[in-house]
DNA sequence: CTAGGATCCTGTCAGC
DNA sequence: TGCTGACAGGATCCTA
């Protein structure tokens, strides 16, 4: 779930908590989740936080970096950090020994939770999904991951760019023109457009949510062979990808702030921007037709069947079978990502 | 080379 | 209530 906007939100949020902080202890609860020796990060301070697509990189001041990937169910929760900027208003409550992210927030100590939204944002930690805990001088960082697909991996900082995954990433939508995307699509003419834009080596940053949203924006049926997408459609698709991700970024992606509403009730960050994702059975906000869920590229896929007709102009069409139903901006924010992409 | 499916792992939910 | 199978927002590996 954590896609590019979520990881970028996490990068910014963690920056306020752990930058400049010294690592005291590392607890690995699941061997699979921490790839490499944990000793190499002990005593080091956090120098910089970078993001490459959906991967987060924490650079330390001892020549080591942590490459982090949240995959499907990863989350990062930081709390307990003392801030130089904002002095504490209240004294920490000493009643409960293990406190939650919210407790720290109300004490005005920087706390941050982002990634797969679930009740870990509100619960005591470590919990049964905590895979790695990094203790700093004055706070803790928890890496939670229900399905254990994500990982934390220490590597020499000068080898980050040559890491197999990071080196293979295509440019992000802000760095790619519609024509460039269209040219890349030609190398995967036969595959469904959705499968192709999910491929991080073709375009970087889109996951299942934003792929559906961007295709809806561009009014392209996700199962259409990539080779049938016109240059004009590819240009709209790129614009759509930028817009849906920027909109999510503005709302903070899947963070505690979007999961927990002001009144303390739980929310769903998708409702802040999703037009089709998990809206099956509901009305299309453009035309009023019913959003349906289908299966494309082995993934649950949401479309408006009227806005995104299967009917497209191509001779290849006849060779393809329409997939069956499963069930019923452009303006650039003023910041730069670490690989030089202007968002 | 491409395209599609299985796979890693755990939890939840629908259906019986 | 308990069981079973399908599915979940990612990416890689294997096969044809």
Q: A244-265 pLDDT, tens per residue?
A: 999 999 988 889 888 888 888 8
Dump pLDDT digits (tens) for A104-120: 666 666 789 999 999 89
The answer to whether some atom of strand C lies closer than 7 Å to the beta carbon of A151 is no
Angle formed at CA A213 by CA A5 and CA A313, multiple of 5 degrees: 140
Residues 6+ apart with CB under 8 A from A69: A54, A55, A56, A150, A151, A165
CA distance A289 to A283: 5
What's the rounded mean pLDDT across residues A140-145? 96
Q: Which residues are registered as beta bridge partners of A325?
A: A294
CA distance A331 to A322: 36
Q: Which nucleotide is nearest to A208 (CA to C1')?
A: C9
pLDDT number for residue A67 = 98
C1' of nucleotide B2: residue with nearest CA: A188
Split at pLDDT 50, 70, 90, the class of A320 is low
Quickly tell me which residue has 């968002």 as its tokens.
A343
Residue A2 known to be catalytic: yes
Query: Catalytic pick from A3, A8, A233, A246?
Result: A3
Q: Which of residues 111-170 of A touch strand B (CB under 7 A)?
A: 128-129, 146-149
CA distance A223 to A195: 8
A322 confidence band (pLDDT: 50, 70, 90): low
Residue A51 to residue A117: CA distance in whole angstroms? 20
**A75/C15 CA-to-C1' distance in Å:** 34
Nucleotides of chain B touched by protein CB (<7 A)? 1-11
């Amino acid at each position: 779930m954590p896609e590019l906007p979520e990881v970028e939100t996490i990068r910014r949020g963690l920056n306020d908590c752990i930058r400049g902080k010294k690592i005291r202890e590392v607890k690995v609860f699941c061997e699979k989740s921490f790839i490499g020796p944990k000793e190499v990060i002990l005593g080091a301070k956090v120098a910089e936080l970078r993001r490459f697509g959906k991967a987060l990189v924490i650079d330390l001041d001892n020549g080591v970096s942590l490459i982090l990937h949240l995959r499907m169910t990863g989350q990062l929760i930081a709390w307990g950090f003392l801030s130089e900027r904002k002095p504490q208003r209240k004294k920490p409550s000493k009643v409960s020994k293990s406190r939650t992210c919210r407790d720290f927030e109300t004490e005005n100590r920087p706390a941050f939770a982002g990634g797969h939204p679930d009740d870990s944002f509100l619960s005591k930690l470590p919990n049964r999904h905590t895979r790695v805990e990094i203790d700093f001088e004055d706070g803790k960082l928890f890496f939670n991951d229900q399905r254990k697909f994500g990982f934390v991996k220490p590597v020499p900082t000068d080898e980050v760019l040559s890491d197999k995954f990071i080196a293979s990433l295509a440019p992000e939508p802000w760095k790619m023109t519609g024509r460039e995307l269209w040219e890349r699509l030609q190398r995967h003419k036969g595959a469904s457009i959705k499968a192709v834009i999910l491929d991080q080596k073709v375009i970087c940053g889109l996951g299942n949510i934003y792929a559906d949203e961007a295709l809806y924006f561009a009014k392209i049926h996700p199962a259409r062979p990539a080779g049938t997408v016109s240059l004009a459609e590819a240009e709209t698709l790129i614009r759509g990808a930028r817009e849906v991700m920027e909109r999510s970024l503005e709302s903070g992606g899947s963070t505690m702030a979007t999961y927990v509403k002001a009144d303390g009730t739980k929310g769903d960050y998708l409702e802040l921007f999703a037009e089709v994702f998990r809206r099956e059975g509901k009305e299309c906000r453009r035309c009023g037709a019913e959003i349906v869920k289908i299966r494309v590229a082995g993934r649950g896929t949401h479309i408006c069947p009227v806005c995104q007709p299967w009917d497209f102009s191509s001779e290849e069409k006849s060779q393809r079978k329409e997939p069956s139903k499963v069930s019923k901006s452009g303006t650039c924010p003023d910041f730069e990502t670490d690989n030089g992409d202007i968002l």
